[in-house]
Amino acid sequence: MLHISHTAAILAQRPYQATEELRNAPQRKSLACPSDRGTFIRPLKQCFIRNPRLMPMTRLALSLLAGWAGHGGLIQTTIGIIARHLRRSRRQVFRYLRDAAEEGYLYYSKTKDRIGRYTGISIRLNFSAIRHEKQGKRTATESKTAKTLEVTQESDTKAKILISMPNEEGFQRRLAAICRRNGIDPPSSTSL
């Protein structure tokens, strides 16, 4: 059974026909469609998609990076790899990254090896500005079972906690001695 989502894949399989229509079309129309590998991007916020301050390709680059990052974390890649996936030049991708960083959607830094040569970039996305997260969703670190099962060992637990407050006069004498030793006038007991 054919589905409407298969249309792009079917049209990509057509034999190339050099018609007058394709000769006048932009070069992108003759490029091959990417294969469907089952990858996807989680739901994005409409305020992110509709932000007029971003360049259109910046939104696409951020969407691609959000898909790569999965549930979050650091993306270590190169500008050339991003450029190859977006079919843009490295300079354009640098502009997209700078545009996104100016708007607060990501933070990136260059990575170096031990000798000091640049090896790529590290990108950390601001997922709260890009993706929609359900309210009350628990992450792996916030599970209830981990909190309820956590038990302290008997040897680490103090059975009796004795808090003894020093008398006020002894405390004042020690405070005055510390002040005199440091060359400070000791406070009077009435000022406290």
Backbone angles phi, psi at 166, to 5 degrees: -70, 150
**Structural domains of the chain sorted by starting position, each given as residue range(s) with its CATH number in brackets:** 44-133 (1.10.10.10)
Q: How confident is the model at residue 189 (pLDDT cuts 50, 70, 90)?
A: low
Instruction: Note the pLDDT of residue 166.
Output: 58
> In the β-sheet with 74-77, what is the strand arrangement from edge to edge?
74-77, 118-125, 106-112
Average pLDDT over residues 81-105: 93
pLDDT at 30 over 80: no
Tens digit of each residue's pLDDT (9 = 90 or more) over 6-22: 666 666 666 555 556 66
pTM higher than the cut 0.75: no
pLDDT at 59 over 80: yes
Q: Which of 15-19, 84-88, 99-103 shows the lowest per-residue confidence on average (mean pLDDT)?
A: 15-19
